[in-house]
Structure 1
Amino acid sequence: MLAGSAALFGLTAVGVGAGRAAAANHPALRAGYRFLDTAMDVHYPAYGELRLPQSYTDEAGFYASAYTADAALAALAYLADGTDASVARAKTIGDSLRYAQEHDPAYRDGRLRESYTVGPYDNKNGVVQANGFVQPDGLVNAGNVFDHSGSVTGDQALAGLALLALARRGLGAAYGTAAVALGDWVVANCSSDSRLGGFRAGVDRAGAALTRTDTAHNAVLAAFFGQLAAFTGAKVWTERRDKATAFVTAMWQGTFYASGSYDGVLAAAFPVTTEAQTVPVLALRSTARTAGLDYVTSALTTTDASASPNSVLTAGQTATGVTFSDWSRQADPDQPIEPGLSRPDPDAVWYAGSAQLAAALLSRGGTGDRTAAFTHLTALVDVQARFVGGRTAGAKPAPTGEGLIAASGPLHTGVAESGYYPYRHVGTTAWFLLAASGRNPYALDRKPPV
């Protein structure tokens, strides 16, 4: 445990908010922000001012991929920091997301892609990609080496929240206009008229509608639409917020939220995911059921060790935290998570989930919640200090002790072919910075304390 950590996390007797001003200068947070800076600057200035942070360090094998959700979380973390330099970086991310909306190679309807390529690479199969985020023809470099080029509902909402936060800072009305366009795209393309309602998960890389309706996505949409209602004054966004909220409410199973529905008619009780418990508490706040947080603690907590299948931990090392889903624990250790990538460690810890759980526990504020949150956050400080998880980003050094790895080992989400890996990750680091600062990315932001 780092000296002064209690002050860092604001978990003193005088309340969560009291420690935020001091927390901003704590070494663990400054180290996290330095990693975000590194991830943003890996291909700049060679490829222009517009850019998004490269999501993973190079060793993860995602090359110059920037995922929209990671970029949005980074922008929100920068705004939570509130320094002039951090706000300027948040503005650059917002400008780049706006540019992506307006310069997509195939669409002009307000959507954002799941990922973008932000710099050149020469992959192990001999594929050479020579461009940055903005290509020579002025269009954005949509998708990445794995063709993650669909549009996910939750990503639109998270990006919209970041854009609205920029607009509320008085940094330009265009950010609000871009956020409205994201909301309009979701409503036009993802609204479900099935029995459970809500909004579907998005569209795939071919533009075909995804049939799944996701609990966490709808919770973030509810927060986003609620903020659009406040920002625009238009009642229709309140109605859309209520539609998303009603879906989340319908997913309650008595002790946890179902992760969503595959057909819009029946709740899919399995897999049970951590984010389906944490995100509603943060996004819906007083209207959310909170017992799912206890379910995460009791049923979705895991301990990784060097003896675990496919573990990357060394002898004597252990890691404890939450996993992504109950099906993560059942992943076949002999089958790669994604083609060409690692085989899963069923005991791996998902560190963004640990940060989410800490933030949600602080939001709930019940007996013992603050102590439990402190335990998770202190563990994340230790993870940042101890686990290297990749040494370069864009072939440039990524200093040790800056930024958090996404997982303690290769972790299968249990949902399709997707996973998290033991390499430093922008989204995980941003979640840590937000939770450790006592900030809720789905709530209306407040002026940083002095």
Structure 2
Amino acid sequence: MMTSSYAGKRWVLTLGFLAAAHGASPALAADPMPRLAETTCTVLDQAVQAQAAGPLLLASYPPLAGQQPEILALRGVAFTYDNALASIALFACGKAQSARRIADALAYATVHDPEYQDGRLRNAYAAGPLKSGPIPLPGYWSTQRNAWNQDAYQISSATGNQAWGALALLEAYRQTREAPYLEAARRVLRWTEQNTYDSQPPEGFIGGYYGYPPQQTRQGWKSTEHNADLAAAWTALDQLVPDEHSARQAKIARQFVFSQWDAREGRFLIGTLDDGRTPERVRSGLDAQIWPLIALQDPPADWQRVFSFIDQAHRAGSGYGFKRNPDGLWTEGTAQTAAVARLRGSPEKAQPLWPVLAAQQAADGWLFATPEARISTGLAIGPDSVIDDFFYYHLPHLGATAWAAIAAIGINPFTGSQEAN
């Protein structure tokens, strides 16, 4: 059930869109934000409604004009993070039925993994409606190898993806008060606590586990972004069901994020190196810079200086790129920046980004991950990568579309409807 303030926000956006469409307000018609909210909410809801009833996960890279992505490893893949965002966005859009179908699939995944019975989520699953039995993992048939291929990252379990799955499940619980969502979130967070906590300074949570079962590789580096995600998830759990243990886990993750603030440069370090101790001072990620401002409660005012840093280090044309000195616009990150600016009381910083985001929409309403053929994040997908091979491509993207909806509506995805109560 939506809160009244949520519903009010959505009706304001809908009326604004209709007024612009009929020429009733030239000033409003010139503002792409209301239309962006309406079109992204519509395309997300339609993507869910177009499939058979029941729990489902959406493809992170939907077809464009009926054509699947050229990259085989991205076809029919439902990344957990993207789907968690989509569920949170759909609740904000007032599309609770569609939001719940994705949350139901995430809850199902915590108890129907084909190999593990410990509550973890995989980084990705096969897109589509779920059937009974083990949840299907992504993969594709390689004619070159004459064998079934699975991407090592996609079937792994990164810490940040656990946190986002939990955040989506906790938002579903806020909206419905149905216990299975709460219990699923607890399972995910319990796995993360038991398997990724590292007590060596700076105390925090490592990157997760990578590779094919049963010999997965422990990723010992600690990420500012992952710990910010966990701080938000544990805090949300503690606020819904107050518990000293949850508060303690949130404090650990929160303190790690604080430890990564570089006051001299006015920015966050991206985290540590593989040893879990040594600071990584060279690379930068846009999400690690701005998410702490909305993921953590009562962030220090000094953290606002990060906007100056990203303007200097992450600018890509009229928007922002993923890495320092980016090689192109990252649509999702540009939407993230608009969302954070709005939520932190700087709408003037968000205003120039709405037309940038609107320009990334395909004819069917999905936003492209980037207008470039390919952009680099400066990061490697996994420990077996020989180069920094984590890229975004000029493809319609669920994550970018969900973030654009979240930003245009003005909801905090880390706290969801909590802030609207």
TM-score range, shorter chain: 0.7 to 0.9
Partner of residue 335, structure 2: 355
Partner of residue 309, structure 2: 295
Aligned length: 363
Note the C-alpha offset of 1:362: 1.6
Deviation larger for 198-207 or 271-280: 198-207
Q: 1:171 to 1:233 in 2, by over 3 A?
A: closer
Partner of residue 429, structure 1: 401
Deviation larger for 101-110 or 140-149: 140-149
Deviation larger for 276-285 or 22-31: 22-31
Partner of residue 138, structure 1: 133
Note the C-alpha offset of 1:159: 1.2
- Paired AA for residue 251 in structure 1: Q
Task: Give the 5 Å matches for 1:199-214.
Answer: 199-206=205-212, 207-214=216-223
- Paired AA for residue 240 in structure 1: Q
Alpha-carbon distance in structure 1 between the residues aligned to 2:419 and 2:228: 24
Alignment partner of 1:203: what SS? Answer: strand
Note the C-alpha offset of 1:244: 0.4
Partner of residue 72, structure 1: 84
Note the C-alpha offset of 1:282: 1.1
Task: Give the 5 Å matches for 1:107-146.
Answer: 107-118=116-127, 133-134=130-131, 138-145=133-140, 146=151
| Correspondent of 1:180 among 186, 198, 210 | 186
- Paired AA for residue 30 in structure 1: E
Partner of residue 379, structure 2: 415
Alignment partner of 1:200: what SS? Answer: strand
**8 A contact 1:94–1:163 mirrored in 2:** yes
Q: 1:267 to 1:105 in 2, by over 3 A?
A: same
Alpha-carbon distance in structure 1 between the residues aligned to 2:206 and 2:47: 31
Alpha-carbon distance in structure 2 between the residues aligned to 1:285 and 1:21: 28
**8 A contact 2:88–2:416 mirrored in 1:** no
**8 A contact 1:101–1:111 mirrored in 2:** yes
TM-score, length-scaled by structure 2: 0.81
Partner of residue 261, structure 1: 272
Cα deviation, 1:424-447, whole Å, max 9, x if unaligned, reads 111111101111111110125148
- Paired AA for residue 114 in structure 1: N
State whether structure 2 residue 12 is matched by structure 1 residue 22.
Answer: yes
| Greater strand share, structure number | 2
Alpha-carbon distance in structure 1 between the residues aligned to 2:270 and 2:294: 16
Q: 1:199 to 1:89 in 2, by over 3 A?
A: same
| Correspondent of 1:270 among 243, 261, 282 | 282
State whether structure 2 residue 169 is matched by structure 1 residue 163.
Answer: yes
- Paired AA for residue 243 in structure 1: I
**8 A contact 2:89–2:402 mirrored in 1:** yes
Q: 1:37 to 1:208 in 2, by over 3 A?
A: same
Cα deviation, 1:345-392, whole Å, max 9, x if unaligned, reads x2x100111111111112222xxx3112011123212322xxx3xxxx
Q: 1:264 to 1:24 in 2, by over 3 A?
A: farther
Partner of residue 109, structure 2: 100
Segments of 5+ residues of structure 2 without an aligned counterpart are: 1-5, 18-34, 141-150, 381-388
Q: 1:227 to 1:383 in 2, by over 3 A?
A: same
Alignment partner of 2:316: what SS? Answer: strand
Partner of residue 55, structure 1: 60
Cα deviation, 1:71-130, whole Å, max 9, x if unaligned, reads 000000011112xxx1001111111111111110001111110001125xxxxxxxxxxx
Alpha-carbon distance in structure 2 between the residues aligned to 1:285 and 1:434: 19
Alpha-carbon distance in structure 1 between the residues aligned to 2:90 and 2:9: 18
Cα deviation, 1:146-182, whole Å, max 9, x if unaligned, reads 3411011111111111111111122511100001111
Alignment partner of 1:378: what SS? Answer: helix
Task: Give the 5 Å matches for 1:312-391.
Answer: 320-326=318-324, 329=326, 346=327, 348-365=328-345, 369-384=346-361, 388=362
Partner of residue 151, structure 1: 157
Segments of 5+ residues of structure 1 without an aligned counterpart are: 1-15, 120-131, 304-319, 330-345, 389-399
Alpha-carbon distance in structure 2 between the residues aligned to 1:280 and 1:427: 19
**8 A contact 1:117–1:133 mirrored in 2:** no
**8 A contact 2:49–2:98 mirrored in 1:** no
Q: 1:153 to 1:323 in 2, by over 3 A?
A: same
Note the C-alpha offset of 1:286: 2.0
Cα deviation, 1:290-326, whole Å, max 9, x if unaligned, reads 21122111221013xxxxxxxxxxxxxxxx3101011
- Paired AA for residue 34 in structure 1: T
Percent of residue pairs bearing the same amino acid type: 29
Alignment partner of 2:379: what SS? Answer: coil
Cα deviation, 1:240-281, whole Å, max 9, x if unaligned, reads 111001111111122110111122212101211111111101
